[in-house]
Amino acid sequence: MLIAFNKPFNVLCQFTDRSQPPRATLAGFGLPPDVYAAGRLDYDSEGLLLLTDDGRLANRLTDPKHKEAKTYWVQVEGTVTDEALQSLRRGVQLNDGPTLPAGVEILEAPSLWERVPPVRFRKTVPDAWLAITLREGRNRQVRRMTAAVGLPTLRLVRVSMGPHRLDDLQPGQWRQID
């Protein structure tokens, strides 16, 4: 079984949380029993999370040797320059080594659901949206890459993993994939 789930902002990619106070987890969304996340999506990120009850499928979806493309829509703070775009496309140096080249395009602001709480709006600070496609998955990689080129991430939404897309799923909704 493979499930596409639109993970809301500030939800953990696991079914339990031992912290105090406990945070929201996948347990609150009526997902089928015996599925688990194939990969991670940060607590403060949103969008497509794949879940499965098949360990081999989970491995195929997440193992870096398969280099499945993952696409994110990223709202960044600042003015996007050609230099920043070229750096992201070539790969940037992070504290754990250089990243692989990324696909990066400037987006018009996408039509998304409201985030709760909303991203803080500041009239004097410009922002922009980027579509970033990676073929690796380091911890908080997109956020670290945009910060490395002077564009801190304000909002991050994963819209696809390999051939699987978020499409019209709203936060907290899920569907089974054939």
According to the model, what pLDDT value does residue 77 have?
96
Annotation says 34 is catalytic = no
| 3-state class percentages of the chain: helix first, strand second, coil last, to nearest 5 | 20, 30, 50
142 pLDDT higher than 90: yes
According to the model, what pLDDT value does residue 143 have?
97
Among residues 17, 42, 54, 167, the one annotated as catalytic is 42
Please count the other Cβ atoms lying within 10 Å of the Cβ belonging to residue 93: 11
State the Cα torsion 112-117-119-122 to the nearest 10°: 130
What is the CA 162 to chain-centroid distance, rounded? 13
According to the model, what pLDDT value does residue 118 have?
87
Q: What does the domain layout of the chain look like in residue ranges?
A: 1-64+165-178, 69-161
CATH number of 69-161, picked from 3.90.1150.10, 3.30.70.1560, 3.90.950.20, 3.90.1170.50: 3.30.70.1560
Identify the sign of the CA torsion 86, 102, 142, 166: positive
75-88 burial: b if 16+ Cβ within 10 Å, else e: bbbbebeeebbebb
139 band by pLDDT with thresholds 50, 70 and 90: confident
Between residues 22 and 104, which one has the greater pLDDT?
104
CA atoms within 13 A on the CB side of 50: 25
pLDDT single digits (tens) 41-95:
999 999 999 999 998 988 888 877 777 899 999 999 999 999 999 999 999 999 9
Please count the other Cβ atoms lying within 10 Å of the Cβ belonging to residue 112: 16
Kindly report the pTM of this predicted structure.
0.94
Between residues 68 and 110, which one has the greater pLDDT?
110
Mean pLDDT within 99-126: 91
Question: Domain 1-64+165-178: which topology?
Answer: Alpha-Beta Plaits (3.30.70)
pLDDT single digits (tens) 3-48:
999 999 999 999 999 999 989 999 999 999 999 999 889 999 999 9
According to the model, what pLDDT value does residue 61 have?
84
According to the model, what pLDDT value does residue 68 have?
84
According to the model, what pLDDT value does residue 113 have?
95
According to the model, what pLDDT value does residue 46 have?
97
Q: Do domains 1-64+165-178 and 69-161 have the same CATH topology?
A: yes
